[in-house]
Amino acid sequence: MAELFEKVAVVGLGLIGSSLTRAIKAKGLSRFVSGFDKDASVRQQATEIGIGAEIADDLSIAISDADLVIMAVPVGAVGAVAAELVPFLKAGAILSDVGSVKKSIIDAVEPLLPEGVWFVPGHPVAGTEYSGPAAGFPSLFEGRWCILTPLEGTPRSVTDKVSALWAALGSDVEEMDAGHHDIVLAITSHIPHLIAYNIVGTAADLEEVTSSEVIKYSAGGFRDFTRIAASDPVMWRDVFMNNKEAVLEMLGRFTEDLTQLQRHIRRGDGQALEDLFSRTRKIRRSIVEAGQETEKPDFGR
């Protein structure tokens, strides 16, 4: 594939950051790929396993002369990382990120931007429940969506360069307003994670059912929630701390609907339950048809 950049630097070498360096290197999208992580043991692990990047022990070295710098750190750390790295960005550099929340990140980064540096916020809607550099793999973004939420006044050519990178990584790219992104992701990602964390927590705290019974009979449905509830605690803490409004709004609606379900069960309204379950089954089918899931039964996947 044609080189899109002379040098790309990735800051934060966990699941997303190390998948990016691997994929950019494997597809030849940048002549140089460098990486930095604040954690020395992560840098060492990344160097040992090889993630397609030159790992630097110093942030300023990793990003010096980079045309594109992508911050792949937890949402709550993006502002501090941006403040640390902006003094070292070259004129005309593009700064980007992969955070799961967009408005709070823009609020933190935009005031720090020096003249002539562009910030193109991004969010690959792709991931797994694992974290760290060993969890990354180059095909993570293939067939997944990447949402860009460009700031007003960003030249078209700049956004297009970031868009071209994600397209070359195999993603479908869509642009939207940051506030809209945060609402869409609240219902498609953040609330499902909260529900999973809650149900697994509730089961763990039950007095009348032992934890060995919960584990033994988990194939009844519980197991599928535990995959999501095993996601990185720091990453998800930051998502809820930084997308408060949209999450609380969606949670309000969810709670109302749950109360209605409770009423249907109490009143023995089987038809209402069956109607809802038929509607939700159709949504599952459309996700499979859209290529965002396969029809394969989930057991052991």
* Binding site residues, ligand NAP, CB under 6 A: 11-17, 37-39, 42, 72-75, 77, 80-81, 98-100, 123-124, 127, 131-132, 232, 235
Q: Residue 51 CB: number of other CB atoms within 10 A?
A: 24
Angle at 139 between CA 137 and CA 144, to 5 degrees: 125
Give whichever of 14 and 52 is closer to ligand NAP, judged by the CB atom. Answer: 14
- For the bound state, the minimum distance from the C-beta of residue 246 to ligand NAP, rounded and expressed in Å, comes to 15
Give whichever of 34 and 100 is closer to ligand NAP, judged by the CB atom. Answer: 100
- For the bound state, the minimum distance from the C-beta of residue 269 to ligand NAP, rounded and expressed in Å, comes to 38
DSSP string, 276-300: HHHHHHHHHHHHHHTTSS-SS--TT
- For the bound state, the minimum distance from the C-beta of residue 204 to ligand NAP, rounded and expressed in Å, comes to 23
- For the bound state, the minimum distance from the C-beta of residue 191 to ligand NAP, rounded and expressed in Å, comes to 15
Give whichever of 80 and 273 is closer to ligand NAP, judged by the CB atom. Answer: 80
Please answer whether residues 109 and 138 qualify as being in contact, where contact means their C-beta atoms are separated by less than 8 angstroms: no
- For the bound state, the minimum distance from the C-beta of residue 183 to ligand NAP, rounded and expressed in Å, comes to 16
- For the bound state, the minimum distance from the C-beta of residue 137 to ligand NAP, rounded and expressed in Å, comes to 12
- Give the SS3 label for residue 14: coil
Q: How far apart are CA 13 and CA 257, in angstroms?
A: 40
3-state helix/strand/coil string of 67-118: CEEEECCCHHHHHHHHHHHHHHCCCCCEEEECCCCCHHHHHHHHHHCCCCCE
- Give the SS3 label for residue 231: coil
Give whichever of 50 and 92 is closer to ligand NAP, judged by the CB atom. Answer: 50
Q: How far apart are CA 296 and CA 294, in angstroms?
A: 5
Give whichever of 182 and 232 is closer to ligand NAP, judged by the CB atom. Answer: 232
Give whichever of 214 and 230 is closer to ligand NAP, judged by the CB atom. Answer: 230
